[in-house]
Amino acid sequence: MPVLVPVVTAMLCCTSPRSERAPLAAALPNDNRTPAGVTIAGVRRIRLVVQRALWHPDADNGPSLQTEAVGEEGKAPMIPAPLIRVPVGATVDASIRNALPDTIIFSVQCGENCQDSIYIAPGATRPMPVRTTAAGTFTYSSALFRHGAVWLGSAAASQSAGAIVVDAPNAPPDRIFVVSEWIQQWDTTKAGDDDRLIMTINGKMWPHTERIHAVVGDTLRWRVVNISGDTHPMHLHGFYFRVDSRGNGAVDSIYTPDQRRMAVTEEVAPFGTFSLQWIPERVGNWIFHCHKAFHMSGFQHADLAEERLDYTLPAPHRPGATDADHAATMMAGLILGIDVAARKPVDGVVATLAGAPRADGTRSMAPRKLRLLAQRKPGKYGLHGYALQRGDSVPALDSLEIPGPPLVFTRGEPVEITVVNHLDAYTGVHWHGIELDSYYDGVAGWSGSTGHLAPRIAPNDSFVVRFTPPRAGSFMYHSHSEEVRQLALGLYGPIVVLDSGQKWDPATDHLVVLGFVLVNDNPYAGVNGAVANYGMRLSAGKTHRLRLMNILVDNDASVSLVGDSGPLTWKVVAKDGADTPVAQRIERAAKVTLGPGETMDVELTPKPGQYQLQMLSFSNVLITINVR
Residues forming the site for Cu ion (CB under 5 A): 232, 290, 292, 295
CB 268 to Cu ion: min, Å: 9
196 forms bridges with which residues in the sheet? 184
CB 233 to Cu ion: min, Å: 7
Q: Which is nearer to Cu ion, 295 or 575 (CB)?
A: 295
Residue 273: which of 220, 241, 231 has the closest Cα? 231
Amino acid at 541: G
CB 551 to Cu ion: min, Å: 15
DSSP letter for 321, please: -
Please enumerate in sequence order all residues whose Cβ is within 8 A of that of 18, keeping only pairs 6 or more positions apart, or say none: 101
Task: Return the HEC string of 434-472.
Answer: CCCCHHHCCCCCCCEECCEECCCECCCCEEEEEECCCCC
Q: How far apart are the first and last CA of the chain?
A: 49
CB 295 to Cu ion: min, Å: 3
Q: Which is nearer to Cu ion, 109 or 231 (CB)?
A: 231
CB 454 to Cu ion: min, Å: 24
Q: Which is nearer to Cu ion, 295 or 478 (CB)?
A: 295
Q: Which is nearer to Cu ion, 598 or 601 (CB)?
A: 598
Q: Which is nearer to Cu ion, 295 or 510 (CB)?
A: 295
Please enumerate in sequence order all residues whose Cβ is within 8 A of that of 586, keeping only pairs 6 or more positions apart, or say none: 571
Q: Output the CA torsion sign for 356, 362, 368, 371.
A: positive
Q: Which is nearer to Cu ion, 151 or 206 (CB)?
A: 206
Q: Which is nearer to Cu ion, 289 or 471 (CB)?
A: 289
C-alpha span between 495 and 372 (Å, rounded): 13
C-alpha span between 510 and 601 (Å, rounded): 10
CB distance 230 to 556 below 8 Å: no
Q: Which is nearer to Cu ion, 295 or 544 (CB)?
A: 295
Q: What is the dihedral of CA 324, 329, 334, 340, to 10 degrees?
A: 10
CB distance 141 to 105 below 8 Å: no
Q: Which is nearer to Cu ion, 233 or 469 (CB)?
A: 233
CB 334 to Cu ion: min, Å: 5
User: How many Cβ atoms from other residues are within 10 Å of residue 379's Cβ?
Assistant: 13
Q: Which is nearer to Cu ion, 381 or 618 (CB)?
A: 618
C-alpha span between 17 and 102 (Å, rounded): 10
C-alpha span between 476 and 432 (Å, rounded): 5
Respond yes or no on whether the N-terminal peptide bond of residue 80 is cis (omega within 30° of 0): yes
Adjacency order of strands within the sheet including 462-467:
384-389, 368-376, 415-421, 462-467
Amino acid at 65: L
Q: Output the CA torsion sign for 415, 418, 424, 427.
A: positive
Amino acid at 36: A
Burial of 380 (0-12, 13-18, 19+ CB in 10 A): exposed
CB 65 to Cu ion: min, Å: 19
CB distance 43 to 93 below 8 Å: yes
C-alpha span between 462 and 219 (Å, rounded): 36
CB 232 to Cu ion: min, Å: 3
Q: Which is nearer to Cu ion, 117 or 139 (CB)?
A: 139
C-alpha span between 51 and 98 (Å, rounded): 7
Q: Which is nearer to Cu ion, 159 or 375 (CB)?
A: 159
